[in-house]
Structure 1
Amino acid sequence: MNSTSRRALTRIAVAITAIAVAVPLTGCSIVRDVLGAPAPQPERDETTQEIVSEGDADVFAIRVGDCMNEASAETVSAVPVVPCDAPHDEEVFYDFTLTGDEFPGEEAVQTQANEGCLAQFEAFVGVAYESSTLDFYPYSPTAEGWDAIGDRTVSCMIYDPAGQVTGTLAGAAR
């Protein structure tokens, strides 16, 4: 198998994993909202709004520029955020909102999420996705989140398949 085929298979596997991760992330937040438990908020610098300490944060509290480590649990309600100057697995590089009153279906949401993230990849990294060694996946709304809490937000996550990075991947040109 050539490297192009391996990369394509890796990207498909990442997309499937993203769906598996996104569903529990949204679902657990709904449960927490119904139960009234407070959502963990990341500790941020008052001026820059950058995350200043490691900890868990509600998935809906993450913003563009936030860095985090991969969530290891199968079902999570919070993501492990870290300051970007510490080693980390991924970074939020773009957020956008899907439109519509009715949930368009899982496949349509994933397609829109992937297309929206891909459209912003080069502007963030500095090279086209096809030429980059970096990869991405979206956190995207589920049917339950769409209907129960009006979740329409897609957060585009960028990462280096080779391992953790320190600092932002903005302008990495790789």
Structure 2
Amino acid sequence: MDDPIRGVRIRRGGPADAPAVLTMLDSAVTWMNDRGNTEQWGTTPFSEKPGGAELVDRYLTENLPFIAEVDRTPAAALVLDSGPDPKAPIVPAAEPERYVRLLVSDRRFAGRKLGSALLAHAVNETRRAGVRLLRVDCWAGGGGELVAFYERHGFTSTHTFLSGSWPGQVLAQRVD
């Protein structure tokens, strides 16, 4: 799917996109750390974390990944699943849902609104699947900027949780 206004193309992702997604995650960790945020994703690049590359491989093979491209260059990624990670301290929905497992962009493409384009795509994919609930969880620290980002995109905060000392927020959006 092309967005002619921004020159963004969204396509299905797959295992071949793993190096690009790892680069996006590494750039996000660096960017957050440069801003003083060492709590959200830590300080170690995903490509160097034990299990980091394997997690990305699982996301790209076991879930529904999408890649936003700018001039044919992978610039952002979104991964949808049928629910939250079973290991996460998140209450499963009482109805079918789509769950945003990952949303990340390469910081070289900051300001292109790639996250917004991918979230709109997630809404359309959820609707196309005949599912009415789209949820996401995110880091709730740092003044709540990430929570506010999702709220600006039509999500409503539902409940908070702690994963160790990591504060999280679950948000939901009705897709009718």
TM-score (norm 1): 0.29
Question: Taking CA–CA contacts closer than 8 Å with sequence separation of 6 or more, which of the two structures ends up with the larger relative contact order?
Answer: 1
Specify which structure has the higher proportion of strand. Answer: 2
TM-score (norm 2): 0.29
